[in-house]
């Protein structure tokens, strides 16, 4: 358009030169953007993507609008990061990221879980209210710097990012799991480790919820970058591969959008909770094929209340744990009047596998019964 406006003023040779330089510039930019992913075929095939090479087209031709400068910058960075082979070390570890107000009520149970597996895990604790008291040597000195976090606030996302960044400092950490103080392990370490370290996707729940607690939270201030059709919902409790943890830390554009436009008590009394929307939406936009769309942490929303069902001591039986470990389909419940339950089989590297490694929410009083069952059911929770 600028060329069109200037045309009248420029003499012919000048116009040719101007057009040629514009064309050159466009070609160089296009070549840069489109060439990076196809540098060499083998670059894209890493240890984790068992099926080989997946092309990730972050610049599809069918975009209905022109991308902003910030979007192009963001997509170029993400595309390159996704195509790099992650650092491989001889001692891959799973990073367990605990988000808690203070002392972890199930620390003794986690101790039992970690025991005998030194060197294959690392622990990070974000204690937002008070310094935790520890019962296990695995947890001593594992607190990172923390800030206050209130329920549903954006500070939750900032704390998740803080945990990821601290855990990324250790190059051995290959997979990152977010857990709360009310989460428990329902499988033995070996099972969890293999499930996570050898997966080719991140376990991030992601689905379309047309109801008030899904798309009803979307606000048009998120335009142009985030359209309603891109908006997704999912559980906060993720597990992700190293590459994905890096692209989360690299994001500023979408993170900022959510920080300002997806939080509680927005104008007009609207509420939005970034911990349930930012990561599902971000991955849906930038690497939809790289996530499982389901979580590995069990939770029971079937009561249809504001908070999920909590399990107390009286609910803890061998049968309950056996049931949780054998589930192989995961439900996503929409919040509209239809309350549609979308059920999907849980896949792991192309075959159907049990869905869950962890479960929530449990009351602290459940500890003793859980310890007893966990310690005495080696076979059942290990397969
Ligand atoms: C994933 O599946 C592929 C194809 O079935 C297989 O070659 C590969 O070894 C599997 N990877 C793991 C980690 O099990
Ligand atoms: C998750 O959903 C996306 C988009 O709907 C899809 O491309 C992807 O294959 C799904 N992941 C799995 C593991 O099914
Ligand atoms: C993961 O592995 C399965 C089975 O080999 C394959 O179908 C799927 O496309 C792979 N996903 C990614 C993101 O590499
Ligand atoms: C496992 O069972 C034995 C015998 O029933 C019991 O003595 C022990 O305390 C149990 N372990 C735990 C951790 O509760």
User: Using a 6 Å CB cutoff, which residues line ligand 4?
Assistant: 371-372, 375-376
- Ligand 4 centroid to Cα of residue 136, in Å, is 19
pLDDT the model gives residue 383? 58
Tens of pLDDT, residue by residue over 249-285, are 999 999 999 999 999 988 888 899 999 999 999 999 9
- Ligand 2 centroid to Cα of residue 291, in Å, is 6
- Ligand 1 centroid to Cα of residue 5, in Å, is 58
pLDDT the model gives residue 62? 59
Q: How many angstroms separate the CA atoms of 144 and 163, rounded?
A: 8
Q: How many angstroms separate the CA atoms of 333 and 192, rounded?
A: 26
Give the number of the atom of ligand 4 that is nearest the alpha carbon of residue 374: 13
Indicate if ligand 1 lies below 6 Å from the C-beta of 351: no
- Ligand 4 centroid to Cα of residue 112, in Å, is 13
pLDDT the model gives residue 333? 86
Low-confidence ranges of the chain (pLDDT < 50): 1-11, 13, 15-20, 22-55
> 192, 203, 199: which is closest to 120 by C-alpha?
192
DSSP state of 143: B
- Ligand 2 centroid to Cα of residue 49, in Å, is 15
Q: How many CB atoms lie within 10 A of CB 194?
A: 10
Indicate if ligand 2 lies below 6 Å from the C-beta of 288: yes
pLDDT the model gives residue 1? 35
Both tokens assigned to 220: 């048009």
Q: Whose CA is nearest to atom 7 of ligand 4?
A: 372
Q: Whose CA is nearest to atom 7 of ligand 3?
A: 350
Alpha carbon dihedral 248, 250, 251, 252, in 10-degree steps, equals: 140
pLDDT the model gives residue 34? 39
| Biggest alpha carbon–alpha carbon distance for the chain | 88
pLDDT the model gives residue 242? 96
Q: Which residue reads 């509420």 in tokens? A: 271
What HEC string does 5-32 produce?
HHCCCCCHHHHHHHHHHHHHHHHHHHHH
pLDDT the model gives residue 2? 38
pLDDT the model gives residue 370? 95
Burial status of residue 366 (CB atoms within 10 A of its CB: 0-12, 13-18, 19 or more): buried
> 243, 83, 85, 250: which is closest to 173 by C-alpha?
243
Contacts of 307 (CB under 8 A, 6+ apart): 361
Angle between helices 253-261 and 69-83 (to 10 degrees): 120
Give the number of the atom of ligand 2 that is nearest the alpha carbon of residue 291: 11
Q: How many CB atoms lie within 10 A of CB 31?
A: 10
Q: Whose CA is nearest to atom 3 of ligand 4?
A: 376
User: Using a 6 Å CB cutoff, which residues line ligand 3?
Assistant: 49-51, 54, 200-201, 289-290, 349-350
Model pTM score:
0.85
Indicate if ligand 2 lies below 6 Å from the C-beta of 116: no
pLDDT the model gives residue 57? 66
pLDDT the model gives residue 81? 92
Q: How many angstroms separate the CA atoms of 383 and 296, rounded?
A: 16
Both tokens assigned to 259: 């920080």
Q: Which listed ligand is nearest to 377 at the C-alpha?
A: 4
């Amino acid at each position: 358009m600028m060329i069109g406006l200037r045309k009248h003023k420029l003499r012919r040779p000048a116009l040719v030169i101007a057009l040629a330089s514009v064309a050159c510039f466009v070609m160089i930019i296009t070549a840069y953007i489109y060439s990076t992913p196809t540098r060499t075929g083998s670059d894209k095939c890493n240890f984790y993507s068992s099926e080989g090479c997946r092309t990730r087209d972050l610049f599809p031709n069918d975009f209905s609008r022109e991308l902003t400068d910030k979007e192009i910058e963001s997509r170029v960075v993400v595309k390159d990061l996704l195509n790099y082979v992650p650092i491989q070390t001889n001692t891959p570890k799973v990073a367990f990221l605990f988000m808690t107000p203070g002392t972890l009520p199930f620390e003794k149970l986690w101790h039992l879980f970690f025991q005998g597996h030194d060197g294959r895990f690392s622990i990070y604790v974000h204690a937002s209210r008070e310094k935790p008291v520890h019962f296990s040597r695995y947890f001593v000195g594992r607190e990172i710097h923390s800030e206050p976090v209130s329920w549903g606030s954006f500070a939750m996302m900032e704390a998740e990012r803080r945990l990821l960044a601290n855990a990324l400092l250790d190059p051995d950490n290959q997979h990152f799991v977010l857990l709360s103080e009310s989460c428990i392990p329902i499988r033995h370490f070996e099972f969890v480790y293999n499930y996570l370290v050898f997966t080719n996707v991140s376990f991030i729940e992601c689905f379309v919820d047309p109801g008030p607690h899904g798309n009803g939270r979307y606000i048009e201030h998120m335009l142009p970058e985030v359209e309603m059709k891109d908006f997704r919902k999912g559980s906060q409790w993720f597990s992700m591969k190293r590459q994905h943890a890096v692209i989360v830390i690299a994001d500023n554009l979408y993170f900022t959008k959510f920080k300002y436009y997806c939080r509680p008590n927005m104008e007009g009394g609207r509420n939005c909770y970034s911990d349930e929307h930012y990561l599902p939406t971000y991955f849906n936009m930038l690497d939809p094929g790289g996530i499982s769309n389901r979580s590995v942490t069990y939770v029971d929303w079937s009561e249809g209340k504001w908070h999920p069902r909590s399990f107390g001591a009286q609910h803890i039986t061998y049968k309950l744990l056996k049931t949780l470990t054998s589930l192989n389909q995961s439900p996503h419940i929409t919040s509209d009047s239809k309350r549609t339950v979308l059920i999907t089989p849980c896949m792991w590297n192309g075959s159907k596998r049990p869905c869950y490694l962890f479960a929530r929410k449990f009351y602290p009083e459940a500890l003793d019964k859980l310890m007893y069952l966990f310690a005495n059911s080696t076979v059942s929770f290990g397969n």
